[in-house]
Amino acid sequence: MKNYLIGGAVLAAAYWGYIMSFPRGIRNNNPGNIEFNAANDWEGQIGVELVGGRFAAFESMKSGVRALSILLINYYERYGLNTVTAIINRWAPSVENDTGSYIASVSNAMGVSPFEVFELNEKNLTNLTAAIIKHENGRMIADYDLTRGVEWALKDKGLV
């Protein structure tokens, strides 16, 4: 019996190490690294991350993408942020980010200049969301999760 317990503990530790090797946004199904706020009742939000306690955790990647996309839509509609520079300056303030490199990365990925005004449509929202996810995590998520999350956000905001 003792060998099974030791083996189980080793297996659990190995699994935990494997999970912790993923970027925070991937582990939490929160690819935009949205900070947890109990007042935000995001659909699919299951609480706060287990390690660190700063960022929200979601039940699925699609739910995390939806929340990120809704925030970006709100930036555009409520605050008139319609350039990559304006959006990233709000999304990733320079007090804790290299905002200049973040803006360059997102602009390049979207194929627009940093100060170019762009229309908020499904294509641009998908590209903006994807670029933020890539910058936040150093890798992309499955196209299925990206597409479904963005479509869900657009539907919930009445934009499709």
Q: Does residue 16 register a pLDDT over 70?
A: no
User: Model-level pTM?
Assistant: 0.87
Q: Which domain holds residue 17?
A: 2-156
How many domains are there within the chain? 1
pLDDT at 8: 52
- Identity at 142, one-letter amino acid code: A
CB proximity list for 156: less than 8 A, separation 6 or greater: 66, 70
pLDDT at 3 over 70: no
Hey, what are 20's tokens? 């912790």
Residue 146 CB: number of other CB atoms within 10 A?
Answer: 21
